[in-house]
């Protein structure tokens, strides 16, 4: 006989949650910090609980998916070996070497934006920038720009429809693209381009070459996360600056504050809503008994707005302790590409500020993206040209 289902504390897919997810997460953090639902199982909203979970990888495992996920869905010691192999691809030297190309892409895209007329920033800048910098970093050809943009559109449509068949088809299509890129490099042999994708084909783990499905998983994790979170972040930051002209002016006067400002804006409004963990033993969280193996959903978008840690969650302060910001996670599963993401966001927002005298809202507030995505689906802005441009 199956166990009776637990009563739901909330519905993550309710219309009022989807209409204003940040307000809904704030409400849950204050009233029901560990909440059950059929859709997300046990959602954890408080900063202390989330931080405690991500720092205790012995009690809370990351192997929460039935699909291969390298290294996100692995625990030590397997995770340790994969991270040791992956982290050099995002080290300081590689990120610094990529900076000029990244800034060139940002400047070219921003330079093509219409000024003195409303522009929908997600389609005109955020998504193209995410696609182009990802292709440039990975060594993928420009011919992939349009197919990847079409893939992003298809994924967004599938997410909006909540159709599992459409989502599965989108995932399969992306994996096929990656397999094609790998086969091209195998066929080229010594003439294959000297880039990250080729390097992965030559990597070993535990003394053996990587299997194709392992490389596909790595590139899927890097690319899907990059295309979604970078585009979302660009939209969130640009809209925030348009709605807060005093901060916009401050950053124009002192661009060295831009990186801290980006992190703080994305603390206030998260580009990535949540992540998963699975307890390896029975635990108690927020007064709730949770059995080993039950899924936990860590709601970054709520934890990063916890009044107990940040005071007024909507106050934008550039002097906060960066160790408290869960934007890029924490512990052994913290995002290995955080430095790259910060470079990319700094490059594109700096280019946007340099090319304009002001960035202003051009209509109503943006429509929220659909869970699990964060940020906005559309962002309408008016760009006033800088003097002499």
Is residue 84 over pLDDT 90?
yes
Domain boundaries, the chain: 15-385
pLDDT attached to residue 182: 94
Please give the biggest Cα pair distance in the chain. 75
**Predicted confidence (pLDDT) at residue 388 exceeds the cutoff of 90:** no
Which range has the worst mean pLDDT, 42-51, 104-113, 151-160, 199-208? Answer: 151-160
Per-residue confidence band for 370, with pLDDT thresholds at 50, 70 and 90:
confident
Distances (CA, A) of 169 to 29, 180, 216: 35, 17, 16
Question: Tell me, what's the pLDDT at 1?
Answer: 33
pTM for this model (two decimals): 0.94
Give residue for tokens 């720092």.
55
pLDDT reported for residue 3: 42
Q: Which pLDDT score is estimated for 156?
A: 75
**Cα torsion angle, 101, 103, 106, 107, sign:** negative
- Percent share of the chain, pLDDT over 70: 97
CATH homologous superfamily of 15-385? Cytochrome P450 (1.10.630.10)
What average pLDDT does the segment 293-319 reach? 97
| Residues near 277 by beta carbon (within 8 Å), at least 6 away in sequence | 53, 54, 60, 61, 62, 64, 295, 296, 298
How far is residue 284's CA from residue 305's CA, in Å, rounded to a whole number?
Answer: 23
| Mean predicted confidence (pLDDT) in 289-316 | 97
pLDDT of residue 158: 75
- Cα gap 131→124, rounded to integer Å: 12
pLDDT in tens, 324-361: 999 999 999 999 999 999 999 999 999 999 999 999 99
- Predicted local confidence at residue 115, as pLDDT: 87
Looking at residue 2, its pLDDT comes to: 38
Residue 50 confidence (pLDDT) above 70: yes
């Amino acid at each position: 006989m199956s166990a009776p289902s637990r009563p739901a504390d909330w519905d993550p897919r309710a219309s009022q949650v989807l209409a204003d997810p940040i307000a809904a997460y704030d409400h849950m953090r204050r009233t029901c910090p560990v909440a059950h639902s059929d859709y997300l199982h046990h959602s954890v909203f408080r900063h202390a609980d989330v931080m405690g979970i991500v720092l205790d990888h012995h009690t809370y495992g990351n192997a929460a998916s039935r699909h291969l996920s390298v290294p996100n869905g692995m625990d030590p010691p397997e995770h340790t070996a994969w991270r040791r192999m992956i982290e050099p691809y995002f080290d300081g030297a590689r990120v610094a070497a990529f900076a000029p190309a990244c800034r060139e892409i940002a400047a070219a895209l921003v330079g093509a934006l219409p000024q003195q007329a409303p522009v929908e920033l997600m389609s005109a800048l955020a998504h193209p920038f995410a696609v182009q910098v990802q292709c440039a970093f990975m060594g993928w050809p420009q011919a992939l720009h349009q197919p990847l943009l079409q893939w992003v559109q298809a994924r967004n449509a599938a997410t909006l429809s909540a159709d599992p068949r459409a989502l599965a088809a989108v995932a399969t299509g992306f994996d096929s693209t990656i397999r094609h890129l790998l086969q091209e490099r195998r066929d080229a042999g010594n003439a294959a381009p000297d880039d990250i994708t080729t390097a992965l084909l030559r990597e070993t783990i535990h003394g053996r070459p990587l299997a194709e499905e392992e490389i596909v998983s790595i590139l899927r994790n890097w690319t899907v996360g990059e295309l979604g979170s970078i585009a979302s972040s660009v939209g969130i930051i640009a809209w925030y600056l348009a709605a807060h002209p005093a901060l916009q002016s401050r950053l124009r006067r002192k661009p060295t504050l831009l990186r801290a400002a980006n992190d703080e804006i994305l603390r206030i409004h998260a580009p990535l809503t949540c992540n998963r963990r699975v307890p390896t033993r029975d635990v108690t969280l927020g007064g709730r008994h949770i059995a080993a193996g039950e899924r936990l959903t860590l709601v970054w978008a709520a934890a990063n707005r916890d009044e107990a840690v940040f005071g007024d969650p909507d106050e934008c302060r550039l002097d906060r302790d960066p160790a408290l910001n869960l934007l890029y996670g924490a512990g052994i599963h913290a995002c290995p590409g955080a430095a790259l993401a910060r470079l990319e966001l700094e490059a594109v927002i700096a280019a946007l500020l340099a090319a304009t005298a002001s960035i202003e809202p051009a209509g109503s507030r943006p429509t929220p993206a659909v869970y699990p995505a964060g940020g906005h689906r559309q962002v309408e802005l008016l760009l006033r040209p800088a003097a002499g441009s």
